[in-house]
Structure 1
Amino acid sequence: MAEAQLQQFLEKVRQLNAFVALSESQPALRDALRACDQHHEVVALAAQHGFDIGRRWGDSQAAPAQPKERPSDQINLFSSLCPAAGEERVDRLIEGPGWRLERIHSCLASSPEGFWYDQTETEWVLVLRGSAQLRFEDEQHSRDLCVGDSLLIAPHRRHRVVTTDPDPGTLWLALFCSADA
């Protein structure tokens, strides 16, 4: 671990410990924390009390840089401007007969009420940055996904996005394959 990452880690632990101590001394804050369902709600509550606990490994304190001009055959998967809250952007990276690879960047996005994806393709997704909750129609509870989590979704397995992170959003890599690929 580089020294800068170590210092970032230690600062996050310090802020988490201070936030926990404050919540133990203030019953109203503890109740508000207990009412949080999602990671970004805890991060926002901590920020209201002056704590920065939301930065992830490798995230800098500075605003994300604008994507650099690159040759058309070279991209950086993490170089993507966050879409507006409630939106997502899909970039097709590469495709072949019966398959395609996409980068999906979502920000506080969710499927419309009552809407379920019902795809004819197999979909494999990987969370590159952020977190999300997905719900399958045949399961009682939502699934929490975070950085590094992947999921294989069979054709016609109905599912929906419950929520994704606020800015800088959730960044996905999605591979779609048809049955004849």
Structure 2
Amino acid sequence: MAEAQLQQFLEKVRQLQAFVALSEADPALRQALRDCNDHHQVVSLARRCGFEIGRRWGEQENPAAGDDNLLAGSCPAAGTEETRLLLEGPDLRLERIHSCDYANPDHFWYDQEEHEWVVLLRGSATVRFADEPEARQLTAGDSLWISAHRAHRLERTDPAPGSVWLALFSKAACAD
């Protein structure tokens, strides 16, 4: 581990320890922490208390810019997504999607003409399929195959620095 990464890790541990100590001393904060339903709510609560505990191991704050770096670039505004077309052919399209604290509107479901394979490169997200009782919790490295016309929706992505996706769309029939 490089010294800079070690210092980043130790600083996160210090911030976590301070946040824990504060929550043990403040009953209202402890209750607010107890009321959190997911990682993002905990990170947001910690941020309101002055602690930055959200960056995951190995994440750079803002990687070097460049079209060939899929993690580069600033985070879009909260509640939005930015899509960049990377490759397009007669039967496929490859996109980079950067989501920031984003969710589809209530009662909205995608019903796509194309099949989609998606991989989450950074952050986390919650995806719901209409034909499944529970939403799926995704973290960096997770991928999904979404057949054409399979109703799905995005229920949540990370706040800044956001969630970064790689999505491959295809019109060709594929084995499920």
**Is the pair's TM-score, using the shorter chain for normalization, greater than 0.5?**
yes
Q: For residue 127 of structure 1, what is the aligned residue in structure 2?
A: 120
Q: For residue 39 of structure 1, what is the aligned residue in structure 2?
A: 39
The alpha-carbon distance between structure 1 residues 92 and 60, as it changes in their structure 2 partners (threshold 3 A), is closer
Q: Once superposed, which parts of structure 1, at least 4 consecutive aligned residues long, lie more than 4 Å away? A: none
| SS of residue paired to 1:55 | coil
Q: Check conservation: 1:100, 1:177, Cα contact below 8 A.
A: yes
Q: For residue 12 of structure 2, what is the aligned residue in structure 1?
A: 12
TM-superposed CA distance for 1:180, in Å, is: 4.5
The percentage of counterpart residues that share the same residue type is 61
Q: Check conservation: 1:127, 1:145, Cα contact below 8 A.
A: yes
Which blocks of at least 5 consecutive residues in structure 1 are unaligned? 69-73
Q: Check conservation: 1:66, 1:81, Cα contact below 8 A.
A: no
Q: For residue 71 of structure 1, what is the aligned residue in structure 2?
A: none
- Partner Cα separation in structure 2 for residue 147 and residue 38 of structure 1: 16
- Partner Cα separation in structure 1 for residue 20 and residue 119 of structure 2: 31
Trace 1:52-131 onto structure 2 (pairs within 5 A): 52-60=52-60, 64=62, 67-68=65-66, 75-131=68-124
TM-superposed CA distance for 1:60, in Å, is: 4.6
**TM-superposition CA deviations, 1:33-77 (whole Å, max 9, x none):** 12222322211211222222112233456xx37835xxxxx5211
- Partner Cα separation in structure 2 for residue 16 and residue 142 of structure 1: 28
Q: Check conservation: 1:164, 1:170, Cα contact below 8 A.
A: yes
TM-score by length of 1: 0.85
The alpha-carbon distance between structure 1 residues 66 and 4, as it changes in their structure 2 partners (threshold 3 A), is closer
TM-superposed CA distance for 1:122, in Å, is: 1.8
Q: Check conservation: 2:63, 2:71, Cα contact below 8 A.
A: no
Q: Check conservation: 2:92, 2:168, Cα contact below 8 A.
A: yes
The alpha-carbon distance between structure 1 residues 180 and 59, as it changes in their structure 2 partners (threshold 3 A), is closer
Q: CA RMSD in A?
A: 2.0
| SS of residue paired to 2:19 | helix
Which blocks of at least 5 consecutive residues in structure 2 are unaligned? none
- Partner Cα separation in structure 1 for residue 32 and residue 77 of structure 2: 27
- Partner Cα separation in structure 2 for residue 105 and residue 42 of structure 1: 22
TM-superposed CA distance for 1:116, in Å, is: 0.4
How many residues of Structure 1 are paired with residues of Structure 2 in the alignment? Answer: 174
